[in-house]
Structure 1
Amino acid sequence: MNMNRILDLGLCCGLAVIGVAAAPASARHVNVRLAPSVSAVAPGQPFDVAVVFTVDEHWHVYWVNAGDAGQAPKIEWRLPDGFSAGALQFPVPKKHVDRAKLVTNIMEGEPVLLTTITPPAQLAAGSSIKLAADLKWLVCAESCIQESQSVELVLPVAADASGVKPANDDLFKSARRFMPVPGPRGKLVTLDAYLAKGKIAPDAKFEVHLDVDIKKGFHIQSDHPTVKGLIATEVFVWPAGEVYWDPLHFPEPKIKDVPAVGKVAQFDGKITVVLPAEADTDVPGEFRVIGGIFVYQGCDDRTGTCLPREAVEWSVTIPVGVAAEDIPRTPIGAGDDPKASGGTADEKVPSNGTNAPPASPDGFSDRPPNPAPPPKSDAPRADVPTGDRASTDFLGPDFQPAFWEKSAVEQWLEKLGLPGLLLGCFLYGLVLNATPCVLPVLSIKVLGFVRQAHESRRRTFALSLAYGLGVLPLFVVLGFLAAGGKNILQFPVAVIALGAIVTAMALSLLGVFQLNVPTVAANLDAAFQKEGLVTSFGKGLLTPVLGLACVGPFMAGAFAIASQQEKHVALLGFLFAGIGMASPYVLLGANPNWLRFVPRPGNWMVTFERIMGFLLLVMAVYLLNPLVGQIGSAGLQWTFVFFIMIGVGCWILGKINFSMEAVTRWKYRAGAMFVVMLSGAIIYGWIYPLGDAAAFAQSGKSAGPVHGNWDNDIPWQTWVHEDVTAAVAAGRTVFVDFTADYCTNCKANKKLAINVPAVRKKMQDLGIEVYQGDFSNGDARIFAMLQRCNRSGVPLDLVFRPGDPNRPLVLPPLLSESTVLDALSAAGPSRPTPALAKSSP
């Protein structure tokens, strides 16, 4: 192929990728945004605002009490006159021990801080207000960086509360789940803190003891569990002004030998955690509020069932300068009555309902106030994240899915073993050649084979083998992604790049610019006689990239069986799919005489190319569908603008003709590159940064957790594992569907097997609760669930029987209506019951 024409293809198809890559990356490792709990502000009606931190992977920020090192975030509000902001509420942190053995309290991923904004009683209806804040924080990985950002939020003003609707419900529901619950009583523990030794006075040492009364019949894990997967008991302490904390001390745990588990270190009955401290040289004020969070995992002694982890607040108000022996002890739950702490009713003791001192100028109190109570439920809830974001700890060691009977295809492949699995993947790759994205390239290559039929068979086979080898690298990449539970369409940059390449190819086939494709028979000899091994390999690389636009959305379900295997088997499955796609080219290259039936080149090729061009445009639009969930509708709109600019770049390339001098042609190519790169940098680097895209998408989600109705849809609730556990423990039958915007097999399952009248009626008759989880952005908790269910990707559908949250039925990846109905019948109707014990399988 003429090298200049190859460059044209590379420029127009690759410029989109370059344009996205050219977008300047944000220098920050943390981005912050504000999200309101309401759609509008009503005079005198308080509302919540979430301060959402998005922290780069492998980096962290610090909790309100950073620990041995670090610095908590600082915020300075800039509010309209008459508005006030409450103290920020922090989620439960994670303990971090660095190489210097310094213990710090950190927050990773996307921690959300909450505060309450109170507007004045008088506001002008129809106007708008702006809430702004300046934030500073320390972000650390191997090194630490001081960062800052100014954020703002504009809200309309309603006449009264009737004009206010909830907003960002899912965000606030999730944020409150990561907050501690008010103490002193948790599900399984009762906490009592008191000054045990010394007194809080300048340069004085003292001890605060935290008594933990564990519910009879249960135990909690020790501070250093001896079995992997069990969750350690931890105590976090809020800042207390001029008080410095030494390492705390837990009692010696009891060691119990548990069959099939091993020796388990645990606490039961009543234990005391000792918190030694020392006061500064100056301790102003009359009282100090000492408090924090107690985090634990409880287990049932009788059944061995370990419940989700819980975080409970504890606190005690201690008078300054009064010795421990002079402070009378009070029963647990007596509250913070000043007399209970050795003071008098006339003394100035904080009385804001949370024992928190007034907020400091930076918007933080010495400890965050109690969060809103968690959703009502008698069942245990995991209100605290555990370990790494992709950890399966939140599922507990007793979570053991049961698998539905395999489909006939799966059973047939299982009988054939690994060879059968690889055969299925090979055949699937072979079928990919029939997609409208690949057909244009296939037609070009077939004509090449026709011309090569008169050449040396050895040379023809070498060229076709090079072409086939070029097909394989993308499948190897897809295999590595699948082995790690990823799909290339989870990444917005990949979706945009693939869509841009397909769009550029479509514009070429529609005649906007010319690639050196054999639309004119007279060019065939020059095109293919000069073809070499490198050129053939390059064309092979392009073929699966174009094919992915058509088949990418279908791959999740088609390779679900392969993805359930070990990682090397999954990789091998994708490799064989690539071999299947490449095989026709290699076989036809070895035997070009097989193509005698192909029509001679002519005007029909031009018509064929135009039809294929329109089909590619349809596939490009379809390919971009996942972007709605990944970067929001606004991001999709700006992506279409970017694609229009790609069209402009292709149009500029189309102005090139070979009567021009070489310098002039390169000026046109440089102009096309400049248009695409500049538009990509402006759109994705300034107007709508891809680094902030997920946050923008989330801020636009203000719908409630329930959507749809039984008449013509399924009233899905947003999946949260703790909500499902609570519902099942309360006696509800639950159906969970994990899906993704890019997963066509997921949509086919819903269209043909789930969201059908018979299944909807069955769900209604049995009183089934339905939940849906979105894996479009690779949610870490959903990935953990997929792993525990032996899946590397969606679709995944689970049915939970009443009272049995640890033994869901895992349905096959490709569903039929009868399979869903049978699974629902097997699970049975909801049977509301307060029982929390694990039922037998």
Structure 2
Amino acid sequence: MYNLILFLTVVLCGQLYADDHPVKANFLADVDAVAPGQSFRLGIELTMEEKWHTYWLFSGDAGLPIEVEWQLPADVVTGPLQWPLPNKFEEQGELVVYGYADEVLLMAEATGPQALAAGDTLHLAAEVSWLVCRELCIPGEASLTLALPVAAVGKPSAQQAQFARYAAQVPGALDERVAVELAVRGEGAMEVDVRLAYEGKAFEQGEQVPDFYPLAADDFALSTRRLAADHLVLSVEPYGDAEVDTLRGVLVYGLDGAVQAGTLALDLRAAPRQGEGILARDYRAASGEVARSLWVYIAFAALGGLILNLMPCVLPVISLKVLGFVNQAGEETKRVQQLGWAFCAGIVATFLVLALAVLLVKSSGEQIGWGFQFQYPGFVVAMSALVFALALSLFGVYEILLPGTGNLGGLE
């Protein structure tokens, strides 16, 4: 019966999103007619429903980047795919990802062949695939085609303004007038102090600036802290024995009332090293952090545990806990203490095993965090089917009998 429920759930979910996928894809060009040998721009437009997002060239801690495979005539030359500056999102499990909400246009420069003649038609195609996420993630793909008539003189399309708007959002090389000063603390796992300067101008701080979006982070984890409009700290944690010498990415900053960005490579080997104490004091002064002892955090953890007893899902269990205390009242004090310590040790050991499992997977190069399994539709479908099957049992559709309980108390 479980297999039947799982099969039906997969079929229903697949049919649901096959009929109404949250992403619509279109193949666009900035010309309605192309002249022989003319350069023009091709674009893949993805439109997402509200609260859904797709992923950038580097997706971050989860997700998959959009993939575009051009299928063009052999004599049509194309340049690299151009990616507009993404947004930065935080998903479940404190996963940081980079992507697009609402709409995005990925572009590439193309040049038509000189051998074209007026009256011909240039047939173009593209295979596009993506992963779109909200509470769960859904893969999508589209086979797109575009036919452009050939004319003696090229004709701009109505989408030319849209192409220009997104082209302005594609990060180029960092403005040479922006000076970047680095300082590194630590070996292996390190913190990189990034300070910006611009002669005659002051940087502006906002919700998403300043920041650093890595173009690749296959062998390390990266997190950022904003200390000021011109001051950023990057925390770099290599996976396993990997050595991180260079950080390549996009520096995002606020200047002249706008968010600006530029690509650069941060050479960590050439950066000066700073002492532990100096840099740590600098961070605390800039960020306003207050140092607390371990006992304070233990007290907070204990308080959080007590508050959990007031959660609705825990209330039915409290009576069982109280009954357990009553049953232990007549036992020896030593026996009660042993049970308490065994219970605590079991909880701590369980979470240590879970933490060790995550660390081992991360050390192998995977980028995961707590709740990462809920990024996979198959796991979500399986969990939904399991909960549904257990609900049917609670409603009396069928019973799950454990060995030795088939005739409990003489009842059938």
Q: Normalising to structure 1: TM-score of the pair?
A: 0.28
- Contact 1:158–1:164 (CA<8 Å) still a contact in 2? yes
Which residue pairs with 1:334 in the alignment?
A: none
Render the CA deviation track for 1:677-700: whole Å, top value 9, x for unaligned.
Answer: xxxxxxxxxxxxxxxxxxxxxxxx
Which residue pairs with 1:312 in the alignment?
A: 261
**2:231 paired with 1:278:** no
Q: CA 1:317/1:124 → structure 2, altered by over 3 Å: closer, same or farther?
A: farther
Percent identity at matched positions? 28
Deviation at 1:97, TM superposition (A): 1.4
- Contact 1:289–1:317 (CA<8 Å) still a contact in 2? yes
2:167 paired residue among 164, 176, 189:
176
**2:216 paired with 1:239:** yes
2:129 paired residue among 127, 132, 136:
136
Deviation at 1:248, TM superposition (A): 2.8
**2:110 paired with 1:110:** no
Which residue pairs with 2:197 in the alignment?
A: 213
Which residue pairs with 2:249 in the alignment?
A: 292
- Contact 1:37–1:166 (CA<8 Å) still a contact in 2? yes
* 2:156 aligned counterpart, secondary structure: coil
**2:61 paired with 1:56:** no
- Contact 1:90–1:114 (CA<8 Å) still a contact in 2? yes
Flag the structure with larger Rg.
Answer: 1
Render the CA deviation track for 1:541-565: whole Å, top value 9, x for unaligned.
Answer: xxxxxxxxxxxxxxxxxxxxxxxxx
Which residue pairs with 2:282 in the alignment?
A: none
Q: CA 1:127/1:205 → structure 2, altered by over 3 Å: closer, same or farther?
A: farther
- Contact 2:249–2:265 (CA<8 Å) still a contact in 1? no
Which of the pair is proportionally richer in strand?
Answer: 2
Q: CA 1:267/1:214 → structure 2, altered by over 3 Å: closer, same or farther?
A: farther
- Contact 2:224–2:232 (CA<8 Å) still a contact in 1? no
1:36 paired residue among 20, 29, 36:
29
Q: What do you get for the CA RMSD once the two structures are aligned?
A: 3.5
**2:156 paired with 1:166:** yes
**2:180 paired with 1:192:** yes
Render the CA deviation track for 1:558-612: whole Å, top value 9, x for unaligned.
Answer: xxxxxxxxxxxxxxxxxxxxxxxxxxxxxxxxxxxxxxxxxxxxxxxxxxxxxxx
* 1:247 aligned counterpart, secondary structure: strand
Alpha-carbon distance in 2 for matches of 1:155, 1:181: 29
Corresponding letter in the other structure for 1:91: P
Q: CA 1:79/1:282 → structure 2, altered by over 3 Å: closer, same or farther?
A: farther
Alpha-carbon distance in 2 for matches of 1:183, 1:157: 38
Alpha-carbon distance in 1 for matches of 2:92, 2:233: 26
Alpha-carbon distance in 2 for matches of 1:193, 1:40: 48
Corresponding letter in the other structure for 1:73: I
1:47 paired residue among 30, 40, 44:
40
Alignment of 1:602-751 (within 5 A): none
Render the CA deviation track for 1:287-335: whole Å, top value 9, x for unaligned.
Answer: 997432233334xxxxxxxx532222131286xxxx815x99xxxxxxx
Alpha-carbon distance in 2 for matches of 1:43, 1:280: 54
Q: CA 1:208/1:154 → structure 2, altered by over 3 Å: closer, same or farther?
A: farther
Alignment of 1:196-595 (within 5 A): 210-216=194-200, 218-221=202-205, 232-239=209-216, 242-250=218-226, 253=227, 266-267=228-229, 271=231, 273-274=233-234, 276=236, 278=238, 290-298=247-255, 307-316=256-265, 324-325=269-270
Render the CA deviation track for 1:638-673: whole Å, top value 9, x for unaligned.
Answer: xxxxxxxxxxxxxxxxxxxxxxxxxxxxxxxxxxxx
Q: CA 1:219/1:198 → structure 2, altered by over 3 Å: closer, same or farther?
A: closer
* 1:220 aligned counterpart, secondary structure: coil
- Contact 1:198–1:324 (CA<8 Å) still a contact in 2? no
Q: CA 1:324/1:33 → structure 2, altered by over 3 Å: closer, same or farther?
A: same
Deviation at 1:65, TM superposition (A): 1.2
Which residue pairs with 1:75 in the alignment?
A: 68
Corresponding letter in the other structure for 1:180: P
- Contact 1:293–1:312 (CA<8 Å) still a contact in 2? yes
Q: CA 1:76/1:267 → structure 2, altered by over 3 Å: closer, same or farther?
A: closer
* 1:66 aligned counterpart, secondary structure: strand
Render the CA deviation track for 1:132-162: whole Å, top value 9, x for unaligned.
Answer: 1111110111111111111111112234xxx
Alpha-carbon distance in 2 for matches of 1:288, 1:87: 26
Alpha-carbon distance in 1 for matches of 2:221, 2:179: 20
Corresponding letter in the other structure for 2:75: G
Render the CA deviation track for 1:181-230: whole Å, top value 9, x for unaligned.
Answer: 542347xxx1437795799xxxx667766441144453422xxx6xxxx6
Alpha-carbon distance in 1 for matches of 2:240, 2:106: 29
5+ residue gaps in structure 2?
1-16, 273-412
Q: CA 1:144/1:119 → structure 2, altered by over 3 Å: closer, same or farther?
A: same
Alpha-carbon distance in 2 for matches of 1:118, 1:71: 29
Alpha-carbon distance in 2 for matches of 1:213, 1:29: 42
* 1:39 aligned counterpart, secondary structure: strand
Alpha-carbon distance in 2 for matches of 1:70, 1:82: 34
Q: CA 1:151/1:195 → structure 2, altered by over 3 Å: closer, same or farther?
A: farther
Alpha-carbon distance in 1 for matches of 2:146, 2:33: 11
Corresponding letter in the other structure for 1:278: P
Alpha-carbon distance in 2 for matches of 1:127, 1:289: 49
Q: CA 1:39/1:195 → structure 2, altered by over 3 Å: closer, same or farther?
A: farther
Alpha-carbon distance in 2 for matches of 1:38, 1:170: 11
Alpha-carbon distance in 1 for matches of 2:63, 2:253: 25
Alpha-carbon distance in 2 for matches of 1:67, 1:218: 30
Which residue pairs with 1:812 in the alignment?
A: none
Corresponding letter in the other structure for 1:312: A
- Contact 2:203–2:229 (CA<8 Å) still a contact in 1? yes
- Contact 1:92–1:311 (CA<8 Å) still a contact in 2? no
Q: Provide the aligned length of Structure 1 versus Structure 2.
A: 255
Corresponding letter in the other structure for 2:236: P
5+ residue gaps in structure 1?
1-23, 254-265, 299-306, 329-841
Corresponding letter in the other structure for 1:53: L
Alpha-carbon distance in 2 for matches of 1:217, 1:133: 44
* 1:171 aligned counterpart, secondary structure: helix
Deviation at 1:120, TM superposition (A): 3.3
* 2:155 aligned counterpart, secondary structure: coil
* 1:44 aligned counterpart, secondary structure: coil
- Contact 2:129–2:141 (CA<8 Å) still a contact in 1? yes
Q: Normalising to structure 2: TM-score of the pair?
A: 0.53
Deviation at 1:74, TM superposition (A): 1.0
Which residue pairs with 2:381 in the alignment?
A: none
